[in-house]
Structure 1
Amino acid sequence: MFKDAGFEVHVACNDNDEIPGIDKNWLVPFVRSPFSKGHYKAFTVLKEIIDNENFTIIHCHTPMASLLTRFAAKNARNNGTKVIYTAHGFHFFTGAPIINWLTYYPIELYASRFADGIITINREDFVRIKKFGNQKTKYFATPGVGVDSSKFFPVSESEKATLRAKLGFAPDDFLITYAAEFIDRKNHKFLVNFVKKYGSLYPNLKFLFCGRGVLLDAIKAEVEHLNLQKQIVFLGFRNDIDAIFKMSDLGISSSKQEGLGLNLVEEQMCGLPILATVDRGHKEIVIQGENGFLYKQGDLDDLNVHLNKLYNDKALRERMGAQAIKTAANFELSNCLRETKIIYNQFLNNVL
Structure 2
Amino acid sequence: MKIKEWRIMKLAIVNNDLGSGGAEKLIYDMALELKKDKSLKFDVIILNSKNEIYKKELEKENINVIALDSKYGIYNPFHIFKLRKILKNYDIVHAHVFPSQYWVGFSKKILPKNIKFLTTEHNTTNNRRNKWIFYYVDRFVYRSFERIICISDLAKDNLREWIKDEKICKKVKTINNGIKLSKYSKEISNLRENLNLDEKDIVVTMIARFTDQKDHKTLIRAMENLPKNYKLLLLGEGEKEEEYKKLVNKLKIENRIKFLGFRKDIPDILKITDIGVLSSNFEGLSIAALEIMASGCPLIGSDVEGVRDLIKNIGILYEHKNIKDLSEKIFDLGENIDFREIIGKKCLKASQEYNVESTVEKYKDIYWELKGR
Segments of 5+ residues of structure 2 without an aligned counterpart are 1-33
Residue 216 of structure 2 aligns to which amino acid in structure 1?
H
TM-score with structure 2 setting the length: 0.80
Distance in 2 separating the partners of 1:238 and 1:31: 28
Q: Do structure 1's residue 28 and structure 2's residue 68 form an aligned pair? A: yes
Distance 1:59 1:113 in 2: 14
Give the aligned residue type for 1:26.
Answer: I
Cα separation, 1, equivalents of 2:172 and 2:128: 25
- Residue 298 of structure 2 is matched in structure 1 by 273
Contact 1:121 / 1:141 at 8 angstroms: preserved in 2? yes
- 1:148 — aligned with what? 180
Which of 198, 209, 213 lines up with 1:185 in the alignment? 213
2:77 aligns with 40
Residues 188 and 56 of structure 1: CA distance in aligned 2, closer, same or farther (over 3 Å): same
The alignment partner of 2:181 has SS state of coil
- The separation in 1 between residues aligned to 2:201 and 2:137, in whole angstroms, is 48
Contact map agreement 2:84 2:110 (CA 8 A) in 1 = no
Q: TM-score scaled by structure 1? A: 0.85
TM superposition shift of 1:269: 0.6
- Matching of residue 76 in structure 1 with residue 111 in structure 2: yes
Residue of structure 2 equivalent to 1:167: 195
Q: 1:54-75 CA deviation, whole Å, 9 max, x = no partner? A: x210001111101110110224
Q: CA separation in 1, counterparts of 2:63 and 2:263?
A: 28
Once residues 72 and 152 of structure 2 are traced to their aligned partners in structure 1, the CA distance between those partners, rounded to angstroms, is 22
CA distance in 2, matches of 1:210, 1:32: 29
Q: Deviations over 1:285-320 (max 9, x none)?
A: 2123xx321212111122133223212221111011
Aligned to 1:59: 94
Q: Kindly indicate whether the alpha-carbon contact (under 8 Å) linking 1:109 and 1:134 is maintained by their aligned counterparts in 2.
A: no
CA distance in 1, matches of 2:135, 2:142: 11
How big is each residue's C-alpha offset from its partner over 1:120-164, in whole Å with a ceiling of 9 and x where there is no partner? 0122221233462451552221111x2111211264xxx35x231
Call closer, same or farther: CA 1:32–1:116 in 2, change over 3 Å. farther
- 1:185, 1:255 within 8 Å by CA — same for their partners in 2? yes
Q: Which amino acid aligns with 2:368?
A: N
Measured in 2, the distance between the counterparts of 1:217 and 1:82 equals 42
Q: For the Cα contact (< 8 Å) 1:31–1:65, is it kept in 2? A: no
Given that 2:124 and 2:154 are in contact with CA atoms closer than 8 Å, whether structure 1 keeps it comes out as no
Question: 2:338 is matched with which residue: 315, 319, 324?
Answer: 315
| 1:12 equivalent in alignment to 2:45 | yes
The answer to whether the Cα contact below 8 Å between 2:201 and 2:230 also exists between their aligned partners in 1 is: yes
Letter in 1 for 2:325: D
Conserved in 2, the CA contact under 8 Å of 1:143 and 1:330?
no
Q: Give 1:264 deviation, angstroms.
A: 1.1
For residues 284-303 of structure 1, the aligned pairs below 5 Å read: 284-288=309-313, 291-303=314-326
Deviates more, 1:268-277 or 1:309-318: 309-318
The answer for the alignment partner of 2:252 in structure 1 is 227
Contact 1:110 1:134 (8 Å CA) reproduced? no
How far is 1:283 from its partner? 2.5
Residue 216 (structure 1) aligned with residue 241 (structure 2): yes
Q: Are the counterparts in 2 of residues 179 and 211 from structure 1 also a CA contact under 8 Å?
A: yes
Equivalences for 1:242-253 in 2 at 5 Å? 242-253=267-278
Q: Cα offset for 1:270? A: 0.5
RMSD: 2.5
Matches of 1:243 and 1:284 in 2, distance apart?
A: 27
Q: Which residue does the alignment assign to 2:351? A: 328
Report the alpha carbon displacement of residue 48 of structure 1 after superposing the two structures with TM: 2.2
Residue correspondences, number: 330
Where do 5+ consecutive residues of structure 1 fail to align? none
> Identity, % of aligned pairs?
24
How many angstroms apart in 2 are the aligned matches of 1:109 and 1:163?
Answer: 49
Deviation, structure 1 residue 339:
2.0
Q: Deviations over 1:178-218 (max 9, x none)?
A: 1111122222121222223x12xx23111111111122122
Distance 1:2 1:206 in 2: 39
In the aligned structure 2, how far is the partner of 1:62 from the partner of 1:319? 36
